[in-house]
Structure 1
Amino acid sequence: MARTAARTAKTPQDEAREAVVEAALGRLGLDAKARLLAGQDMWSLPALPEIGLKSLVMSDGPIGVRGVRWTSDDPSVALPSPTALAATWDPGLAHRAGVLLAQEARRKGVHVLLAPTVNLHRSPLGGRHFEAYSEDPYLTGRIGTGYVQGVQSGGVGTTVKHFVANDAETDRFTVNNVVDERTLRELYLAPFEAIVTGARPWGIMTAYNTVNGTTMTEHGRLVDEVLRGEWGFDGFNVSDWTAARSTAGAVEGGLDVAMPGPRTVYGEALARAVRDGQVEEARVDEAVRNVLRLAARVGILEGAEPVVTRPPEQVDGEALARETARRSFVLVRNENAALPLRPHGTLALIGAAARDARVLGGGSATVFPPRIVSPLDGLTAALPEGSLRYAVGADPTTELDVADQGFSLRAVCRDAGGNVLGTGSAPTGHIQWMGSDLPEGVTHEALHSVELTGTFTPRESGPHIFGVKGVGAFRLVVDGTTHYDDVQRPAVEGNPFEALSGAPVPRARAELTAGTTVEVSLTHVVEFPDRIPMKVVGFTLAHQEPQRDPDELIAEAVEAARDADTAVVVVATTERVESEGFDRTDLRLPGRQDDLVHAVAAVNPNTVVVVNSGSPVELPWRDDVAAVLLSWFPGQEGGAALADVLTGAHEPGGRLPTTWGPLQDTPVTEVVPQDGELHYTEGVFIGYRAWERAGREPSYPFGHGLGYTDWAYESIEVEGTTVKVRVRNAGSRPGREVVQVYLGPAEPDPLRPVRRLAGFAGVEAAPGESVDVVVELPRRSFEIWDQVSNVWSFVKGSYEVAAGRSIADRRVTVTINV
Structure 2
Amino acid sequence: MKRLVPAMAAFAAIAFFVISCTSEPSQTQETPMETQKSYSGKPIPEQFDAQIDSLIGQMTLEEKVGMLHGTSMFSTDGVPRLGIPELKMADGPLGIREEISRDSWAPLGADDDFATYYPAGAGLSAAWNPDLAYLFGQSVGEEARARGKDVLLSPAINIIRTPLGGRTYEYFTEDPFLNKKLTVPFIVGLQENDVAACVKHYAANNQETNRDFVDVQIDERTLREIYLPAFKAAVTDAKAYSMMGAYNKFRGEFLCENGYMLNDILRGEWGFQGIVISDWAAVHSTVKSLENGLDLEMGTPKPFDEFYLADPLLEALRSGAVSEAEIDVHVKRILRVLFALKAMGGEARPEGSIHTEEHFGDAYAIASESVVLLKNEGALLPLTADGMGSIGVIGANATKKNALGGFGAGVKTKREVTPLEGLQNRLPEYVEVRYAEGYLERYAPKKESVFGEVTQERALTIDELDPDLLEEALAVAAQTEQVILFAGSNRDYETEASDRVDLKLPFGQVELIEQVLEVNPNTIVVIIAGAPFDIGSIKEKAKAIVWSWYNGSEGGTALADVLLGQVNPSGKLPWTMPKDLMDSPAHATNSFPGDTTVTYSEGLLVGYRWFDTKNIEPLYPFGYGLSYTSFEIGEATPEWEIYAPSDTIRIRATVANTGTRDGKEVVQVYATARDSRVTRPAQELKAFQKVLVPAGQTKTIEMAIPVSELAFYNEESRSWEVEPTWYDFTVGNSSRDVQVRFSVRVE
Cα shift readout 1:476-509 (whole Å, capped 9, x = no counterpart): xxxxxxxxxxxxxx955999xx9xx955999xxx
1:652–1:706: 8 Å Cα contact kept in structure 2?
yes
| Pair 810,505 (structure 1): closer, same or farther in 2 beyond 3 Å | closer
Which residue does the alignment assign to 1:484?
none
Residue 474 of structure 2 corresponds to 558
Matched-pair contact (CA < 8 Å) for 2:403–2:412:
no
**Aligned residue number for residue 698 of structure 1:** 618
Partner residue of 1:298 out of 341, 344, 347:
341
AA matched with 1:656: L
Question: What residue number does 1:331 align with?
Answer: 373
Residue 634 of structure 1 corresponds to 551
1:771 maps onto 2:699 in alignment: yes
Change (3 A) 1:794 1:385: same
Match of 2:439 in 1: 395
Structure 1 match to 2:635: 715
Return the letter of the residue paired with 1:368: K
Query: Could you say which residue in structure 2 is the equivalent of 1:570?
Result: 486
Matched ranges for 1:374-773 at <5 A? 374-392=418-436, 394-399=438-443, 502=457, 550-619=466-535, 620-662=537-579, 663-669=581-587, 672-719=592-639, 720=643, 721-747=649-675, 751-773=679-701
Conservation of the 8 A alpha-carbon contact between 1:72 and 1:368: no
**CA apart distance, 1:258:** 0.6
**How far apart are the structure 2 equivalents of 1:648 and 1:674?**
46
**Gap change, CA 1:359 and 1:576, over 3 Å in 2:** closer
Alignment of 1:109-508 (within 5 A): 109-260=148-299, 261-301=304-344, 303=345, 305=347, 316-344=358-386, 345=388, 346-358=390-402, 362-392=406-436, 394-399=438-443, 502=457
Deviation of 1:10 after TM superposition, in Å, equals 8.7
Q: 1:106 aligns with which of 145, 148, 171?
A: 145
Change (3 A) 1:107 1:757: same
Amino acid at match of 2:729: V
Check 1:789–1:570 CA distance in 2 against 1; reply closer, same or farther (3 A cut): same
Offset, 1:332: 1.3
The answer (yes or no) to whether the contact 1:99–1:315 under 8 Å persists in 2 is: no
Query: Matches of 2:678 and 2:459 in 1, distance apart?
Result: 48
Question: Deviation at 1:548?
Answer: 9.8
Answer whether contact 2:41 2:238 (CA < 8 A) is retained. Answer: no
In the alignment, is the contact (CA less than 8 A) between 2:464 and 2:507 conserved in 1? no
How far, CA to CA, are the matches of 2:459 and 2:378 in structure 1? 44
Secondary structure of the structure 1 residue equivalent to 2:474: helix
Distance 1:327 1:66 in 2: 25
Among 66, 75, 82, which residue is 1:35 paired with? 66
What is residue 459 of structure 1 aligned with on the other side?
none
The C-alpha deviation readout for 1:347-400, integer Å capped at 9, x for no partner, is 211101112343566333311111221111111121123534434353251227
Residues in 2 aligned to 1:127 and 1:339: alpha-carbon distance in whole angstroms: 32
Partner letter of residue 306 of structure 2?
R
What is the CA–CA distance in structure 2 between the aligned matches of 1:796 and 1:639, rounded to whole Å? 51
Distance 1:664 1:761 in 2: 32
- Aligned residues, how many? 678
- Corresponding residue for 2:79? 48
| 1:658-705 C-alpha deviation (Å, 9 max, x unpaired) | 011231322323575444000101111110001112211111111111
Secondary structure of 2:136's counterpart equals helix
How many angstroms apart in 1 are the aligned matches of 2:432 and 2:41?
A: 60
Within 5 A, what are the aligned runs for 1:18-29? 18-29=49-60
Structure 2 distance, partners of 1:726, 1:97, is 29
How does the TM-score come out when normalised to structure 2? 0.86
The 1:92/1:18 distance shift into structure 2, 3 A limit, reads farther
Contact preservation (8 Å) 1:565, 1:606: no
Sequence identity, in percent? 35
- TM superposition shift of 1:653: 2.3
Moved more, 188-197 or 570-579: 570-579
**Does the residue aligned with 1:14 lie in a helix, a strand or coil?**
coil
Deviation at 1:727, TM superposition (A): 0.9
**CA-CA distance at 1:280 after TM superposition:** 2.6
Cα displacement (A) at 1:566: 2.3
CA contact (8 A) 2:568 2:662 kept: no
Contact 2:98 2:411 in 1 (8 A): no
- CA deviation string 1:95-133 (max 9, x = no partner): 111111111111212111001101010010111111110
- CA, structure 1 residues 396+748, in 2 after alignment: closer, same or farther (shift >3 Å)? farther
- 1:15 matches 2:59: no
Q: Is the 8 A contact 1:79 1:636 kept in 2?
A: yes
Alpha-carbon shift at residue 609 of structure 1 (Å): 0.9
Q: Which amino acid aligns with 1:633?
A: Y
Whole-angstrom CA distance in 2 between matches of 1:760 and 1:775: 7
Pick closer, same or farther for the CA change 1:336–1:361 going to 2, 3 Å.
farther
Secondary structure of the corresponding residue to residue 753 of structure 1? coil
Q: What secondary structure sits across from 1:358 in the alignment?
A: coil
Q: CA deviation at 1:22?
A: 2.4
1:323 is displaced (CA, Å) by 1.9
Counterpart residue number, 1:420: none
Q: TM-score, structure 1 length as denominator?
A: 0.79
Q: Which amino acid aligns with 2:657?
A: N
1:802 aligns with 2:719: no
Assess if the C-alpha contact under 8 Å between 1:160 and 1:192 holds in 2: yes
Amino acid at match of 1:158: A
- Contact map agreement 2:633 2:653 (CA 8 A) in 1: yes
Q: Would you say 1:781 and 2:699 are equivalent positions?
A: no
Deviation of residue 776 (structure 1)? 1.1
**Alpha-carbon separation, structure 2, partners of 1:94 and 1:552:** 44
- The structure richer in strand per residue is 1
Deviation at 1:637, TM superposition (A): 1.6
Letter of the 1:606 counterpart: N
- CA separation of 1:550 and 1:664: change in aligned 2, threshold 3 A: farther
> Structure 1 residue 31: deviation in Å?
2.3
Q: Which runs of 5+ in 1 are unaligned?
A: 1-7, 401-466, 470-489, 507-543
- Bigger mean CA offset, 757-766 vs 340-349: 340-349
CA distance in 1, matches of 2:460, 2:519: 39
